[in-house]
């Protein structure tokens, strides 16, 4: 598991538009990385929709929101289009980035052991340091909690832009 105070592992992954995203490209901004198990499932959709619905508020705080799962790029594109998602979705098919962030766990389902992604969120500061790490996240209201933490982090940093707006839970 990756804990607060540690440097966030770098990576480069393709997104739902088949373009590569390099983690270095967001250096100097806060980043929310949310890992989720699977495109299209009800809880994953709830979480991704909540982050998408409030993406503008996060951007006003200088924060990028990025979702990662082990689904492929085409699945991400379908998920994005089906639910009107605006957050960037990255494909980690081989699970390398998921392992770096400690979000994979072996689980048994139907008599087979399978590597599964645990719903997890990391708030990373402008210097690339993990400030908050959440594992086994309940998606309802999670975006609002994360927003408040980014807002606090933003307020304590240099050149912060403060916002009085808060998110409402769905």
List residues with catalytic annotation.
44
Euclidean distance between CA atoms 104 and 70, whole angstroms: 10
Q: How far apart are CA 76 and CA 69, in angstroms?
A: 9
Q: How many CB atoms lie within 10 A of CB 59?
A: 12
Name residue 20's beta-bridge partners. 14
The CA distance from 125 to 26, in Å, is 10
Identify the residue whose tokens are 């980043």.
31
Distance CA 28, CA 6 (A): 16
Q: How far apart are CA 8 and CA 84, in angstroms?
A: 29
């Amino acid at each position: 598991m990756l804990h607060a105070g540690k440097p966030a592992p770098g990576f480069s992954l393709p997104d739902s538009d088949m373009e590569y995203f390099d983690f270095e490209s967001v250096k100097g901004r806060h980043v929310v990385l949310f890992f989720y198990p699977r495109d299209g499932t009800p809880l994953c959709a709830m979480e991704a929709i909540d982050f998408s619905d409030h993406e503008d508020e996060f951007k006003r705080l200088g924060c990028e929101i990025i979702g990662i799962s082990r689904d492929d790029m085409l699945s991400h594109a379908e998920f994005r289009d089906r639910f009107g998602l605006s957050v960037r979705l990255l494909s980690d098919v081989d699970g390398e980035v998921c392992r770096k962030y400690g979000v994979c766990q072996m689980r048994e389902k139907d008599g087979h052991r399978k590597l599964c992604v645990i719903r997890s969120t990391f708030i990373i500061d402008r210097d690339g340091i993990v400030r908050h790490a959440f594992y086994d996240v309940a998606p309802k209201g999670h975006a609002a909690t994360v927003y408040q933490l980014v807002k606090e982090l933003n307020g304590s940093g240099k050149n912060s832009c403060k916002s009085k707006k808060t998110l409402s839970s769905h």
